[in-house]
Amino acid sequence: MKEETLRIIQPEQIQRFEKILEQKRLHHAYLFTGAFASFEMAQFLAQALFCEEKKGVFACGRCRNCRLIEEEAFSDVTVLRPTNQLIKTETIRELVRKFSQSGIEGNRQVFIICEADKMHVHAANSLLKVIEEPQSEIYVFFLASDAEKILPTIRSRTQVFHFPKSHAYLVHRLEQEGLMRQQADMLATYAQSEAEALGAAKSTSFMRSLDEVERFVKSLLNGQKLAYVQVSSLVHLADDKEKQAQILRLIEVCLAKEIMQPKAQFYLTALSKTYQMWQANVSFQNALEYMVLNRQSSF
């Protein structure tokens, strides 16, 4: 992501880092929360550290080092992601061993840990000493959707920056991808990051789920008995836990769009109970049927 784009969607954060770099006060450990362009900002700062043709304090984005960092192929910038929804302790211990080594291109090293909230607790604890007392010039960026999901001991040793979602930017990007305004608005509300939004927009199964959920919620709010029948269609689309969670989130987004309606407020409350039932291993179908049938007598 280019500097110009970051200035549009995260103007406050890029201005803060511009001052930090000008003062040469880049901290060795950061926690980026919110997930909206946080990875791109971490990469951008890594480029600023290694760029061969800087523009002021920021990277040119075109030189060999900048291109390799963007492609995740630069030897002194390590990007770590979960495997099967987990960052294992051994993976972090291997990372810790790298901390004690000098960089290949120079003395600096950058480590970007994506979805850091998925580190095993022992893995996170393995990092405490090295981020508190680094033995070499290292910079660690922890990326997580929510700061509260990170161990307090890690959180207290980092500088925390929040990356709020830019709804307007997401709607614009989705419209560029060919979505109608209403679909783009709905998807921008649902997604936590640009990558998630664009991936969902290109997913036939996701867009089909969105259409079905919109019909389902419309039936709920219109007081139609059809909503009960439509439960089976939603169940058919959600054959695993991930897709079921996706549909529950889509129902929440659709109802929230109509929050001024008393029925929408009622069903949002019912949805909370539905979610709890589902998490307690009540079948997805039974949980949804509970929400449909649990209606106020005045409806």
Which of 69, 187, 3, 79 minimizes the C-alpha distance to 13? 3
Cα–Cα distance, 157 to 135 (Å, whole number)? 15
> Do 66 and 79 form a contact (C-beta atoms < 8 A)?
no
Cα–Cα distance, 186 to 152 (Å, whole number)? 34
Q: What pLDDT, on the 0 to 100 scale, is given for residue 296? A: 46
> Do 54 and 44 form a contact (C-beta atoms < 8 A)?
no
Q: What pLDDT, on the 0 to 100 scale, is given for residue 106? A: 64
Measured from the Cβ of residue 199, the count of other Cβ atoms closer than 10 Å reads 12
> Do 136 and 100 form a contact (C-beta atoms < 8 A)?
yes
Q: What pairing do the DSSP bridges indicate for beta strands 159-162 and 77-80?
A: unpaired
Q: What pLDDT, on the 0 to 100 scale, is given for residue 297? A: 44
Q: What pLDDT, on the 0 to 100 scale, is given for residue 100? A: 66
For residue 229 the two structure tokens come to 């029948």
Cα–Cα distance, 110 to 79 (Å, whole number)? 9
DSSP 178-217: T--HHHHHHHHHH-SSHHHHHHHHT-HHHHHHHHHHHHHH
Q: Where are the domains of the chain?
A: 3-162, 167-202, 203-299
Cα–Cα distance, 49 to 24 (Å, whole number)? 11
Q: Where are the beta strands (DSSP E) in 66-176?
A: 77-80, 108-113, 137-144, 159-162
3-state secondary structure of 82: coil
pLDDT tens-digit profile, the chain (299 residues): 578 889 889 999 999 999 999 999 999 999 999 879 999 999 999 999 999 999 899 999 999 999 999 999 999 999 999 988 889 888 888 888 877 666 566 678 999 999 999 988 888 888 887 788 777 789 999 999 888 889 898 999 999 999 999 999 999 999 999 999 999 999 999 998 888 999 999 999 999 999 999 999 999 998 778 899 999 999 999 989 999 999 999 999 999 999 999 999 999 999 999 999 999 999 999 999 999 987 644 45
Cα–Cα distance, 52 to 58 (Å, whole number)? 11
Measured from the Cβ of residue 211, the count of other Cβ atoms closer than 10 Å reads 12
- CATH second-level architecture of 3-162? 3-Layer(aba) Sandwich (3.40)
pLDDT digits (tens, 9 = 90+) for 50-87: 999 998 999 999 999 999 999 999 999 999 999 888 89
